[in-house]
Structure 1
Amino acid sequence: MEIIVRKATLDDAASIYDIIQEAFTKYQEDLNTDTKVAALCETVEDIKRDIECKRVLIAHLGNIPVGTIRYEIKADGTAYLSRFGVRPAYQKYGAGTALMRALEQDAEKNGATAIVLHTALKMKHLIGFYQHMGYYVVSTSDDTGYIRALLRKPLQQQAEAVSPS
C-alpha cells in the first residue's frame, strides 16, 4: 500500500491525538525516565489549535492514519519540527521518511532556510534516522530532565546567481 501524506484538517485531530499517544508512550518507555514527555500531556483541543496555527501533516497507509508531524517557521527562517510520531505497529513502512520529505518540501516552499528539531540523545535509532535524512547534531542540553540533541538540516533554497559587475 502507498503512504499518502497530506495537510491535516480539524477533523484529523482525534486521529492525531491517538497517533501521538501511541508513539510518545513508546518514546517515554524507551527513554526510561521519570520525566514525563510533554507530548503525552496534550489534548485534542491543543492539536486543533496547532492545526489552525502551525503546519500539521498526517500520513495514511491505506485508510489508516499512521503518522503525523508538525512544524512552524520561526522569525529567523528556520522551521522548528515538533510532535513527529508514527504508530509503533506501522514503523518501518516508510511513513516517517514520507512525512519528513513532505515537511522538508513544504517548509522550503514556505520560505524556510533550515529545519531544526530536538530528540533524546540516547535514542540512537532516531538519531540515526535523522542523520540518514541529512540532519546533524548541533548541540545538546538537559533542560527537560534528559539529554536532548538539537539537530539541523539546511534546505537548498533556489537562490538567484549574482553575477559580478
Structure 2
Amino acid sequence: MGMSVTIDRAAEQDAEQILKLQYLCYQAEAELAGDYQIDALTQTADDLRAEMRAGLVLVARLGTEIVGSVRGTVDADGTASIGRLIVHPRMQRHGLGGRLLDRIEQRLAAEADTARYRLHSGQRGEGNLRLYRRLGYAPVATEHVSRHLKVITLEKIRVPQGRPGELAASA
C-alpha cells in the first residue's frame, strides 16, 4: 500500500465514516447473535457525536480512510470502559487492533486517574478474546444476554508508569 496507518482523536466530521465501518464490522456479530438490532447497528451519527463529546474516540487512518476505531471513558472510581474496537476486515490480523487498544489505554491514563481497564466481548468472538488475553486482560464476569449470546467482561489493572513489564490482570 505504501502508506502507514496513523492513530489520532476522531473529529465530529468522522462520525459518518466511523458508523459505516462499525456497521460493516458488526454484521458478523449480529449474525452470530441472530439479532440485527444490536446497538452497534442502530446507533445514529448524533449518538456517536455525543459519545465523542463525552469521552475519547480514536480513529486509525490509512491516508484519508478510517480503517479502525475505539472508544473509551473513565468513571469516578477510575475504571476505564473501552468499547467498539473495530478494524476494517482487510486490515485485520496485522496488529492494528492491538495498537488501537494500547493507544486508548495510554490516552485514557494520561487524561484521567485510571486504575483499571474494562471491556466486553461476545463469547463467540474467539479472535477478540485471544487479543484481549494476550494484552493482559482476564475474564471477570459472564452475562447471558440472550439464548444465543453470552457477553464476557474482561479487565486489566493499570500499573503506574515507572514499573515497566508489570502489567497485571485482575483476578
Normalising by structure 1, we get a TM-score of 0.88
The amino acid that maps onto 1:57 is L
Superposed displacement of residue 62, structure 1: 2.9
Do residues 147 (structure 1) and 150 (structure 2) align?
Answer: yes
Normalising by structure 2, we get a TM-score of 0.85
1:1-165 equivalences under 5 Å are 1-29=3-31, 31-34=32-35, 36-110=37-111, 111-143=113-145, 146-158=149-161
- Give per-residue Cα distances to partners, 1:52-100, cap 9 Å, x unaligned: 1111000112332101111110121010012211121221232211111
Q: Secondary structure at the match of 1:127?
A: helix
- Give per-residue Cα distances to partners, 1:21-54, cap 9 Å, x unaligned: 111113223x242363211110111111111111
Distance (whole Å) between structure 2 residues aligned to residue 57 and residue 99 of structure 1: 8
Contact 1:3 1:94 in 2 (8 A): no
In the TM superposition, structure 1's runs of 4+ consecutive aligned residues that sit over 6 Å from their partners are: none
The amino acid that maps onto 2:40 is A
Q: Secondary structure at the match of 2:26?
A: helix
Kindly, what percent of the aligned residue pairs are identical? 28
Distance (whole Å) between structure 2 residues aligned to residue 5 and residue 149 of structure 1: 27
| Alpha-carbon RMSD | 1.7
Superposed displacement of residue 112, structure 1: 1.0
Distance (whole Å) between structure 2 residues aligned to residue 87 and residue 132 of structure 1: 21
Distance (whole Å) between structure 2 residues aligned to residue 85 and residue 140 of structure 1: 21
Contact 1:26 1:88 in 2 (8 A): no
Distance (whole Å) between structure 2 residues aligned to residue 15 and residue 95 of structure 1: 18
Distance (whole Å) between structure 2 residues aligned to residue 128 and residue 53 of structure 1: 29
- Between stretches 127-136 and 82-91, larger displacement belongs to 82-91
Distance (whole Å) between structure 1 residues aligned to residue 36 and residue 125 of structure 2: 15
Distance (whole Å) between structure 2 residues aligned to residue 130 and residue 158 of structure 1: 21
Structure 1 stretches lacking a partner, 5+ long: 160-165
Distance (whole Å) between structure 1 residues aligned to residue 28 and residue 108 of structure 2: 28
The higher relative CO (CA closer than 8 Å, separation ≥ 6) is in: 1
Superposed displacement of residue 144, structure 1: 5.3
Structure 2 stretches lacking a partner, 5+ long: 163-171
Equivalenced residue count is: 158
Superposed displacement of residue 143, structure 1: 3.2
